[in-house]
Structure 1
Amino acid sequence: MSEAPQGRPQVRKVCVIGAGVMGAGIAAQVANAGIPVLLLDIVRDPADRSGVARAAVDTILKADPAPFMGKGAARLVEPGNIEDDLPRIAECDWIVEAIVERLDLKQALYAKVEACRAPHAAVSSNTSTIPLASLIEGRSDAFRRHFLITHFFNPPRYMRLLEVVGGPDSDPAMVTRITDFADRALGKRIVPARDTPGFIANRIGTLWLESAVNAAFDLGLTVEEADAIAGKPMGVPGTGIFGLLDLVGLDLMPHVRQSLTASLPAGDAYQAVARSHPRIEAMLAAGLTGRKGKGGFYRLNREAGRKEAIDLVTGEYRPAVKAPPPEGPAGKGDLAALIAAPGKVGAYAWAVLGPTLSYAASLAPEIAADITAIDDAMKLGYNWRFGPFELIDRLGADKLAARLRAEGSPVPPLLDLAGERAFHRVDKGRRQVLGFDGQYSDLVRPDGVLLLEDLRLAAKPLLENASAALWDVGDGVVALEFTGKMNALDGEVMALIGQAIALVQERYKALVIYNEGANFSAGANLGLALFALAMNAWPEIEKLMAGGQQAYKALKYAPFPVVGAPAGMALGGGCEILLHADAIQAHAESYVGLVECGVGLVPGWGGCGEMLERWRKMPGLPGGPMPAVAKVFEVVSVATVSKSAAEARELGFLRASDGVTMNRDRLLADAKARALALVDGYAPPAPPEFHLPGPTGRAALDLAVHGFRAQGLATEYDAVVAGHLAHVLTGGEADMADPLTEADLLALEREAFLALLHDERTQARIKAMLETGKPLRN
């Protein structure tokens, strides 16, 4: 994986001890960063002494979602065993312990680690339940200085939260070295936590889940009703409460409950909500542990072809029924309206929010240095859209306190300290948070973090329309941001690209294409295309086609560097704009692909030619025109989407020279640095010339498609679409000796795209994608 422009801290090798789900996942994420890992576990089979660790690697290689980002990462994980290989931890700069949550076993292991580790090496535990002070009891001063807790969340590749706990003896420089590595190389947002039971996210999150489950039973709600109330309206992931429990595993909750009830004082609010339910105990006894078991609160009945939900009263499964969201503002994020709603809706919403938000406010000074840590922990660890104090702001701290008083519940002092003030505010263009001393202070980002969400508080866009905006991000660099739904691309985006090129050429040095949406871009606005089709507005469609091609080529040949900075999905036209950039600085979790064939089209904004050019230069590919054509056809015809930036490089969407940023928060700064590095001596690329195999090459591709058709792997219309793609990639009717220009390939793309768009079968695919989000196999 390419090194990000800002470099990496010095951790050259890591050892993970414990090859369970978490340990193996941590090892995989370290390997994703390009760092070699020694993965150790116990000896179970004398004939295969490292078999436990080896089996763990084999298991995660097959897992979905995949812990490894690319094929090469797995080769960086070396399986071993504690009995034979523990002395080798002397090779490592960081030793991560991720064994079973038993204090005696951890302490015994640390005694062995202390005898073998290098003097500078950090040692950390992935524990979420055992205090740091207990872990290091009996260890030397040197060991204590190099020890900390690093609590990863599962799965480690995808969950960005890392709670870090340092002890009173921990060397601050060592803690900084490890947290800097975890931030830049592993992509984690670091949340410092105090050495208290459950730390931050699990302490609050467990009470939240327990309160929600209890209230559903007490109020007689179905699981669907509960998830409809305590899901989207509260900014909780679409799974809702019971769907989330299925995802993490019902069997985990009793262990967490036992740990917290044993470690928390009798007066802690969690003690009052921690209770088991006979229905859930019966589910666990029957192996109904959630998605990893035979089902949970929900299950997919494949025989009946339907999703089912469990009846909390009878314990029997029945067809799942989509519960309607709360009516009016209550269903659209108005928390005050939600908790005031009549009947079960308001009662359940308050039964979840009241205890959770008051618990967070009462705990805050005990578990964290500031409220930002608590908000970040819940947003990153539980995928909440808003943190607890952001939710309190939406209700009003004074109003929350008043309702708690009215029902006779304790009111956390922090709520009275805030009073009518918000915990978060913007003052003179700067984000500020309310401290435990009652004073506001500026929110300070880590060095190297640059976010549009901060810039837009104090500045206005240089250019803006309904679908895009252009921002000055400093040092002569501007950022082009897509702003439409799903960051879809339309004529407004293309128009702003033209304006941006003129402005940058006149006043700036470089352009970065970047946004902070969940996805970089879902591609062209298919809804707009379908509307134009319904109106028979073919001139408008042809105008959008030509406008996109012209805008992308104008970016490619602009007299200044252009850097694409994707994160999340970059599909169709979103992928094509990246292919026209001088360089790409991609977030590691970038899912890139030319997916047009899935909706019955072919890439129409220059993607075919750009992919041919990339594959033609791919190291190790045989010479001649056909190998590159065949590879591009293989990738594009089945709408392949990379599952990471590393895989995007393997598929040709990224070049070997393109960079990867592991931490999403650092993507804009890294892309800006890459753009500035290209400024001196910059010259636009020379236009390519293509020699393509023509009808002979197309015949070979057609033969392959017919083979797939005969095997039932492609539908009749798949073959039609693939035929049009083959016609473009092989150069149409041109002979291999005849050179083709980019303009020639663009003309072939337009011809194929418009011909397919006229076909009712393509129109049916587009309509199905818009309505269901899934491809139609017609």
Structure 2
Amino acid sequence: MDIRKVAVIGAGVMGAGIAAHIANAGVPVVLLDIVPQGASNRNIVAETAVEKLLKSDPAAFMHKRNARLVTTGNIEDHMNLLADCDWIIEAIIERLDLKQNLYKKIDAVRRADAVVSSNTSTIPLQDLVAGMPASFAEHFMITHFFNPPRYMRLLEVASGVQTQPEVVQAVSQFCDVKLGKGVVGCKDSPGFIANRIGIYWIQTAILAAMELGLTVEEADAVVGKPMGIPKTGVFGLSDLVGIDLMPHLMDSMKRTLPAEDAFHAKAIIPAVVSQMIQEGYTGRKGKGGFYRLNRLGAEKIKESINLQTGEYSKSQAGRLDSVANTRKLADLVNYPDKGGQYAWQVLSQVLSYAASLVPAIAEDIHSVDTAMRLGYNWKYGPFELIDQLGAKAVAERLTAEGLSVPPLLKLAAEVGSFYRVQAGKLQYLTTAGEYQTIERPAGVLLLEDIKRTSKPVAKNASASLWDLGDGVLCLEFTSKMNAMDPQILGMIQQAISLVSKSYKALVIYNEASNFSVGANLGLLLFAANIASWDQIESMVKGGQETYKAMKYAPFPIVGAPAGMALGGGCEVLLHCSAVQAHAETYMGLVEVGVGVIPGWGGCKEMLQRWVTNKRRSGGLLPPVIKCFEMISTATVSKSAQEAQDYLFLRPSDAITMNRDRLLADAKTRALAMVEGYQAPEPIEINLPGPTARVAMEMAVRDFQSMGKATPHDGVVSNQLAYVLSGGDTDMLDKVSEEQLLQLERTAFMNLLRTKNTLARMETMLETGKPLRN
């Protein structure tokens, strides 16, 4: 079955977020909620929810226009709107009686083949469908989204004994391809996978930190980067999620878990946490949490709570020898200080608990690891962590400490590990003691799999080339933060040469968090500090020539970004034949933040796109002003959809919702362009010259007088205005690409010689934040 229209009932934070993300996929969605008593506007709940979504930060909608796909209403007047929906999602409060009453109303109006699902994670599926007709139960399942639905990739799917397999398949495929979800099948057990382990982990980490006398900073330093967990750690995560939610989650788990489950021993709310909740310290949504910002006049001071006394003091970095002196997780858990002791205490309990739950919560360990990576942003799942520590070493230490060893962990200790690579294929250990190869779904191609079966075609310290098969080469950036540097530029040139001789097309892609954050500032600053101006100008020109060679290559080059594509990373994409972008791609030319302008053809490409844009009107000035506004304010798109508004992406560029499908989509796009491919012809454009430059300079002065622009902002913006206006050209004259590139280089070098630009670069490298000088 195809899913072309969806309904969500329940316009709370979760339900509304689900509706917004379905709209992001371009699918019409109906959003219904109750009629509040005495309300003059009977749709007020759903309508207010959409208004909040449009104002939310981070944004729930990938583009504000997506809100037009949401039809609001209420469950008393508008149940008829469900009649043509293919999938109906219930996301109301966790009360069985209310859910079952709603299901009866839904069943009265739904199409016979329409799927109904609940977003619950606390009520068993068999209880939800109890008393409902078999025809309803056959089309019913649980689809557990994580909040916020747009950004959290995990979707846990649970089906009942009566649920038709084709129903599960249809919803899973839709959520995978259209919504970009990592769909994980799980058993109908309390908390499913991620929350069952995740809540146990949070509680274990908090209680162990208190027991061992660690500060919140020390605990987060251990239960953070060393374990492949986001830098928020466990206390920062609790603040983010909401400390007041933990008692409710634990109560739900306690009610539904068997008495012998190890979770019960962790279901404790310490006195200091109870006091925090009572006083409104519920996390970021409240007055603060384990961390808070204390405002003293204009100054903001980060403070943290003392877990023993409940008092706040200035936050201090969690400095522990165990964290500073170890690189491997196995060394951390054996380090003789409280950090090492804490690491082992948390991991030994959490990893043992996870091992004891398979197959009760999921059929296999791979599903568990995937759920924890996607639902809690862990870099490694619990079984991957055990392999890092060594399954045998973990089992032996647990035994030595008089702790139980789950049967699955004993099995792994005997055979060696939970995962292995066999003939280039990644395999996982089953509960039967055999290894099963991980099969990727159709349409999924991962570079990590390519790397297991092949060696790079070419490689240097900052980039690699990989053969994707079918005549397509893949260029992967591997520098720190994928920052552009001379070695990447060299690899681009090498790729162009190789493809021209032996391949059909090139894809530029990587599986890091961000496509590229821009040029290597450290290298640039070093050269500037030793006044190596000729070398810098040569590097700028080299970048321009390399990107130009990409643009005019005799074969298609497809950029496939995800995450941030900023500065020089954005400029790479501007010179590709086509872009297949992940939906969560954030593009922008942000060079003004470090006191320069785009110098590798970014100004040129944006001018050409806006001046030749068929939708524009009003002469030459408006497109130039638009480019000036975007570049001078370092505008960054908040999605790939929004990037098309700015023309960072062209209307012909495509968007992939699921990150795991991005490489396959880009390869397919590249191959589809091969036959009859012709490189674009160089174009010349008219630019308004001094008239536009004066207008832009006046606008900058106005911003400075209002205090919205600093003195150096004015210097940078005036140089940018000179480039974008075409320099001293007459508006009747054509301006070539070479002329625009020369203007870029000159302005870039002029700015790099100023002390304020160098100060901006130094500050960005030291703090990661822009200097407003």
State the TM bucket, normalised to the shorter chain.
over 0.9
The corresponding residue for 1:174 is 167
User: What amino acid maps onto 1:672 in structure 2?
Assistant: K
Structure-1 residue corresponding to 2:15: 23
Pick the aligned partner of 2:56 from 55, 63, 79. 63
Deviation at 1:618, TM superposition (A): 3.1
Q: Deviations for 1:478-501, whole angstroms, at most 9, x for unmatched residues?
A: 111111001111111111111111
Amino acid in the other structure paired with 1:740: V
Q: Aligned-pair distance for 1:615?
A: 1.3
What secondary structure does 1:79 align onto?
strand
Match of 2:397 among 399, 403, 418: 403
Deviation at residue 357 of structure 1 after TM alignment: 0.3
Matched-pair contact (CA < 8 Å) for 1:205–1:378: yes
Say whether 1:251 aligns with 2:244: yes
Going from structure 1 to structure 2, the CA distance change for 1:560 and 1:346 (only over 3 Å counts) comes to: same
Give the drift of 1:624: 2.1
Amino acid at match of 1:27: A
Output the amino acid matched with 2:226.
Answer: P
What amino acid is the match of 1:409? L
Q: Aligned to 2:730, what secondary structure does the other structure show?
A: coil
- Structure 1 SS opposite 2:351: helix
1:281 aligns with 2:274: yes
CA distance in 2, matches of 1:534, 1:503: 36
Where does residue 777 of structure 1 map in the other structure? 772
Residue matched to 1:302: 295
Look up the equivalent residue of 1:609 and give its one-letter code: K
Residue identity opposite 1:411 in structure 2: V
SS in 2 for 1:449: coil
User: Residue in 1 aligned with 2:526?
Assistant: 531
Q: Given the superposition, is the C-alpha separation of residues 512 and 432 from structure 1 closer, same or farther in structure 2, using an over 3 Å criterion?
A: same
Match of 2:735 in 1: 740
In the TM superposition, residue 328 of structure 1 has moved relative to its aligned partner by: 6.2
Per the alignment, residue 646 of structure 2 pairs with 651
Q: Deviations over 1:128-182 (max 9, x none)?
A: 1111111111111111111110000011111000000011111111111111110
| Partner Cα separation in structure 2 for residue 771 and residue 585 of structure 1 | 34
User: Residues 209-258 of structure 1, C-alpha deviation per residue, up to 9 Å, x if partnerless?
Assistant: 11111112222222112111212111111011111000000111111111
Distance in 2, Cα, partners of 1:584 & 1:379: 27
Q: Distance in 2 between matches of 1:112 and 1:482?
A: 54
* Correspondences of 1:660-699 after superposition (within 5 Å): 660-699=655-694
Alpha-carbon contact 1:147-1:166 (below 8 Å) kept: yes
TM-fit CA distance, 1:341: 2.0
Inter-partner Cα distance in structure 2 for 1:714 and 1:758:
21
Code of the residue aligned with 2:276 in structure 1: it is: M
Q: What secondary structure does 2:94 align onto?
A: coil
| CA distance in 2: counterparts of 1:494 and 1:217, whole angstroms | 51
- Give the alignment's TM-score, normalised by structure 1: 0.97
1:459 aligns with 2:454: yes
Match of residue 394, structure 1, among 365, 388, 396: 388
Answer whether contact 2:187 2:362 (CA < 8 A) is retained: yes
Instruction: Describe the shift of the 1:619–1:27 C-alpha distance in structure 2 as closer, same or farther (beyond 3 A).
Output: farther
Is the CA contact (8 Å cut-off) linking 1:326 and 1:338 kept in structure 2? no
Rounded to whole Å, the distance in 1 between the matches of 2:441 and 2:295 is 48
d(CA) in 1 for partners of 2:431 and 2:684?
A: 65
Matching of residues 314-353 of structure 1 within 5 Å:
314-327=309-322, 331-332=326-327, 334-353=328-347
State the one-letter code of the partner of 1:94: W
Q: Where in structure 2 are the equivalents of 1:185-204 lying within 5 Å?
A: 185-204=178-197
**How far off is 1:342 after superposition?**
2.0
Among 363, 374, 380, which residue is 2:357 paired with?
363
| 1:662-697 C-alpha deviation (Å, 9 max, x unpaired) | 000000011111111111211111111111011111
SS in 2 for 1:678: helix
Deviation at 1:347, TM superposition (A): 2.4
2 CA distance for matches of 1:233 and 1:483? Answer: 21
CA distance in 2, matches of 1:727, 1:109: 64
**Per-residue displacement from partner, 1:253-278 (whole Å, max 9, x unpaired)?**
11111111111111111112211211
1:325·1:331 contact (CA, 8 Å) conserved in 2?
no
CA RMSD of aligned residues (A): 1.2
Structure 2 distance, partners of 1:329, 1:717, is 39
**Distance (Å, rounded) in 2 between the aligned partners of 1:347 and 1:476:** 52
Amino acid at match of 2:612: K
Partners of 1:436 and 1:260 in 2: CA distance: 25
1:224-623 to 2 correspondence within 5 Å?
A: 224-303=217-296, 304-327=299-322, 331-332=326-327, 334-420=328-414, 421-623=416-618
Residue 3 of structure 1 corresponds to none
- Provide the rounded CA distance (Å) in 2 between the counterparts of 1:103 and 1:221: 41
Q: Distance in 1 between matches of 2:340 and 2:748?
A: 51
Which AA in structure 1 matches 2:25? A
Structure 1 match to 2:29: 37
Q: CA deviation at 1:607?
A: 0.8
Distance apart, 1:189 and its partner CA: 0.5
C-alpha distance in 2, partners of 1:544/1:460? 30
**CA–CA separation in structure 2 for the residues paired with 1:221 and 1:108:** 49
The alpha-carbon deviation at position 289 of structure 1 amounts to 0.7
Give 1:118 deviation, angstroms. 1.1
Contact 1:479 1:511 in 2 (8 A): yes
1:112 aligns with 2:105: yes
Give the CA deviation at 1:331.
4.2
CA contact (8 A) 1:467 1:492 kept: yes
Give the letter for the 1:363 counterpart.
L
Whole-Å Cα distance in 2 between the matches of residues 658 and 233 of structure 1? 39
Provide closer, same or farther for how the CA distance between residues 215 and 328 of structure 1 changes in structure 2, counting only shifts above 3 A.
closer
> Does residue 757 of the first structure (1) align with residue 736 of the second (2)?
no
**Counterpart of 1:401 in structure 2: which amino acid?**
A
Q: Which runs of 5+ in 2 are unaligned?
A: none
2:721 to 694, 719, 726: 726
Moved more, 380-389 or 470-479: 470-479
- Alignment of 1:124 with 2:117, yes or no, is yes
Distance 1:358 1:329 in 2: 26
Change (3 A) 1:676 1:623: farther
Partner amino acid, structure 2, of 1:585:
Q
Shift of 1:623: 4.2
Post-superposition offset of 1:335: 2.3
Query: For the Cα contact (< 8 Å) 1:329–1:337, is it kept in 2?
Result: no
Task: Report the counterpart of residue 6 of structure 1 in structure 2.
Answer: none
CA drift at 1:69: 0.8
Tell me the secondary structure at the aligned position of residue 682 of structure 1.
coil
Opposite residue 197 of structure 2, the aligned amino acid is I
1:330·1:337 contact (CA, 8 Å) conserved in 2? no
Residue 54 of structure 1 aligns with which residue?
47
Q: Which residue of 2 aligns with 1:4?
A: none
Say whether the 8 Å CA contact 2:323–2:332 is kept in structure 1: no
Partner residue of 1:97 out of 84, 90, 94:
90
**Secondary structure at the counterpart of residue 547 of structure 1:** helix
Give secondary structure in 2 for the equivalent of 1:16.
Answer: strand
State the one-letter code of the partner of 1:31: A
